[in-house]
């Protein structure tokens, strides 16, 4: 599967079949980014139902190959998901970020995400094992009267 090959180049972990099934089921919330016909980045999301109704988007992965970072590719991928969320009545977007990943934390903060929780020992095979839950609440456009 092409997505399997691409995620292996972007992320230092292997994902199970459910990851790919969730990513494919999310439709437009999962995108690959190409630069001169080379796949250089990806965002993969999962749509989740919230308790009490409503829908949120969980960003499973967002990554850009190192030589292509700083070109706005990650920003375009994230903006795509934010814009789509606003159009599709999504109430929030969230993800997990390793606590020592300052670059990722600062990247998401630029887009209005906030650290909303810390989970101890979230990761089993990487150090540090702790993560932050990083969340962006989505304000829906008001209906015209």
Is residue 59 within a helix (H) or strand (E), and if so which, with residue range? strand 55-64
Catalytic site residue 34? no
Catalytic site residue 58? yes
**CA distances in angstroms from 145 to 123, 138, 141, 142, listed in the order given:** 48, 21, 12, 9
Q: Which neighbouring-strand residues pair with 64?
A: 41
Question: What are the backbone angles phi and psi of residue 101, rounded to the nearest 5°?
Answer: -90, 75
Active-site option among 20, 35, 80, 96 = 96
Active-site option among 58, 68, 122, 123 = 58
Active-site residue list: 58, 96
């Amino acid at each position: 599967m092409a997505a399997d090959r691409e995620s292996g180049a972007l992320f230092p972990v292997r994902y199970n079949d459910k990851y790919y099934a969730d990513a494919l089921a999310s439709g437009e919330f999962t995108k690959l980014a190409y630069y001169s016909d080379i796949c250089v980045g990806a965002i993969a999301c999962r749509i989740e139902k919230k308790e009490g109704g409503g829908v949120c988007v969980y960003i499973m992965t967002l990554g850009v190959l190192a030589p292509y970072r700083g070109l706005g590719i990650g920003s375009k991928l994230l903006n795509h998901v934010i814009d789509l969320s606003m159009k599709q009545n999504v109430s929030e977007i969230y993800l997990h970020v390793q606590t020592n990943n300052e670059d990722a934390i600062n990247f998401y903060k630029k887009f209005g995400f906030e650290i909303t929780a810390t989970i101890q020992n979230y990761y089993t095979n990487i150090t540090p094992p702790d993560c932050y839950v990083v969340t962006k609440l989505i304000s829906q456009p008001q209906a015209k009267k």
